[in-house]
Amino acid sequence: MLFRRKKKSGPVKVDDRLTHIAFILDGNGRWAKKRGMPREYGHSEGAQTFKRIVRYCGDIGIKVVTVYAFSTENWSRPKGEVDRIISLLDEYIAGAERELDENKIRYTFLGDKSVFAPGMVERMTRLEEISAHYELRLNIALNYGARAEIVHACRELAESGEEITEESLSSKLYTAGCPDPDLIVRTANERRLSNFLLWQAAYSELYFTPTLWPDMRPEDVDEAVADFYARERRFGGVTSK
């Protein structure tokens, strides 16, 4: 077996069967609650985890990482919590620009940016532009909802008069040009997609772990990767075994 847990086998390396991993990061609130702390504390710890996990995915050879950071439904949370999450993300974006030469990541934001403050929109757009030549892609789903994304893509197609095909619709999604996720990992014991990449996940492998997002470590990624490699993807065909 080629892909084993890091603890036992040293760093795993992925191949072209696993180019894109997406994470539904969940459990920040519960992580904080367990420690008797406000939910916001879980989000700031989660932001550190985010950096660590993205770096590790790059190290093991993943080409595209997508992270669900804030959904269109998350606006329904208390204002203080929403403000904290958005300001953490804005700090992350500013830091990403400062560290761009070091991290060499190509950033793309999935979702409607226009709802954010003009300064933040500017930082998001600039980061996308100045990082566009890097290879390792990081998609950050922010004010993202898959249904809204599909409706937005359909409207664009209707306006342009283009023929409606799977390819033309894919080309109007926020993920245009990215391969579909091979593996979607959701933390914190929830087993649902919560309006994430509904179109792109048609044949993704799903992996659920009880680990709360702030506790997520490279070893947990190794475990998800090993689980992925133990599966057979048939895409509707017949088994090769």
| Residues recognised as catalytic | 26, 74
Question: Are 107 and 63 spatial neighbours (Cβ–Cβ below 8 Å)?
Answer: no
Among residues 29 and 181, whose Cβ is nearest to ligand IPE?
29
DSSP structural state of residue 213: G
How many CA atoms lie within 13 Å of 241's alpha carbon, on the beta-carbon side? 5
Count of residues that bind ligand IPE according to CB under 6 A = 18
* Per-residue mark of binding to ligand IPE, 40-69 (x: CB under 6 A): ----------------------------xx
Q: Read off the amino acid at residue 162.
A: E
Q: Is 74 in the site for ligand IPE (CB under 6 A)?
A: yes
Q: How far is CA 101 from the centre of its chain?
A: 22
Among residues 162 and 190, whose Cβ is nearest to Mg ion?
190
Residue 212: closest CA among 181, 191, 192, 188: 188
Among residues 68 and 228, whose Cβ is nearest to Mg ion?
68
Q: Is 145 in the site for ligand IPE (CB under 6 A)?
A: no
Separation between Cα atoms, residue 180 and residue 131, nearest integer Å? 21
Name the minimum Å distance from CB 131 to ligand IPE.
22
Partner in contact with 28, chosen from ligand IPE, Mg ion, none, beta carbon below 5 to 8 Å by kind: ligand IPE
Binders in 1-20 for Mg ion, by CB under 5 A = none
Q: Report the residue closest to ligand IPE, judged by CB.
A: 29
Which one of 5, 30, 55, 152 is in contact with ligand IPE (CB under 6 A)? 30
Q: Which two tokens stand for residue 176?
A: 């245009």
> How would DSSP label each residue in 120-147?
HHHHHHHHHHHTTT-SEEEEEEEEE-HH
Facing residues of 186 across strands?
Answer: 24, 208
Which one of 18, 23, 26, 212 is in contact with Mg ion (CB under 5 A)? 26
